[in-house]
Amino acid sequence: MKNLIDSLRARRWSNLIVANLRIMLGFAFLPAGLKKVLYQPFTDPQNTGAFHDFLHTFYTTGVFYQFVGGVQLVIAALLMTQTFATLGALMALPVITCITVFCWSTSVIPTAIVATMMLSGTLALVLWDIDRWLTVLRPGYVAPPSDPTTTPPIDLSLWRACGAGILVFYGLTCIVYGGVYRPKGIDPSSPAFYVLPIITLFPIVTLLVEQRRRSVTR
């Protein structure tokens, strides 16, 4: 497994996937975390059933509800910085595991599938940085030093800027929107419809800029 990961870490395409996966997972935690921190209900009061009944009760816990939201926002920020993504992935793992088990146990199939995909992505990120935490499972293990003369497969500074840009843009969107922005439905007549496509442009522009820089330096 470690040899496979080491091989993937040397490839540009796999580094690009990981950088974008961090951003996507981080962004997925933003609306849910922000709603909790602002102490807004996560589901409509009229919804019933095991899934919604639990969320209604969860909302009434007050400070604990907001604390969980704060943890989700910290996870989002850590993942999108790229630099601290290992810590973000390790923090996200128990959170998204609990969410996934909860969704499957309450039979909310569409949400459970999304949660399972997020869990799979989080596990992939944890394995990606195996050298950074393997000492926990193998005491005495020392990660091999990186070669300073080796050119990194991708320019992480650009992807850090991409994550920061998305965080700032999302925050401004929420301020203008007057609440927590959550992508929902297809309504081209609504300005909110264009927020998600604009956010999607951030990684695309970052990739184009990085490729441009690489072509110039060659």
- Residue 173, burial from CB neighbour count under 10 angstroms (0-12, 13-18, 19+): middle
CA-closest candidate to residue 162, choices 196, 200, 203, 125: 203
Cα 51–Cα 54–Cα 57 angle in degrees, nearest 5? 150
Cβ proximity of 111 and 120 under 8 Å: no
pLDDT on residue 141: 62
pLDDT on residue 207: 95
CA distance 24 to 211: 21
User: What's the chain's average pLDDT?
Assistant: 90
Residue 36 has pLDDT above 90, yes or no: yes
CA distance 54 to 106: 10
Q: What is the mean pLDDT of residues 77-90?
A: 95
Residues contacting residue 102 through CB under 8 Å, at least 6 positions apart: 51, 54
In this prediction, residue 4 has a pLDDT band, given cuts at 50, 70 and 90, of confident
Which comes out higher in pLDDT, residue 25 or 188?
25
Q: What is the mean pLDDT of residues 122-133?
A: 90
Handedness of CA 71, 91, 82, 194 (dihedral sign): negative
Half-sphere exposure of 33 (CA within 13 A, CB side): 22
Q: Which amino acid is at 117?
A: M
Domain parsing of the chain, residue ranges:
2-217
* pLDDT (tens digit per residue) in 203-212: 999 999 999 9
Residue 134 has pLDDT above 80, yes or no: no
E strand residue ranges, 80-183: none
* pLDDT (tens digit per residue) in 92-123: 999 999 999 999 999 999 999 999 999 999 99
Long-range contacts of 110-118 (CB under 8 A, 24+ apart): 111/51, 118/25, 118/28
Q: Which amino acid is at 184?
A: K
pLDDT on residue 188: 81
Residue 151 has pLDDT above 80, yes or no: no
* pLDDT (tens digit per residue) in 13-33: 999 999 999 999 999 999 999
In this prediction, residue 213 has a pLDDT band, given cuts at 50, 70 and 90, of confident
DSSP assignment of 93-161 equals: HHHHHHHHHHHHHTT-HHHHHHHHHHHHHHHHHHHHTHHHHHHHHSTT--PPPP-TTSPPSS-HHHHHH
CA-closest candidate to residue 35, choices 63, 79, 65, 75: 65
pTM of the model: 0.88
CA distance 164 to 157: 11
Residue 98: what are its φ and ψ, rounded to 5°?
Answer: -65, -40
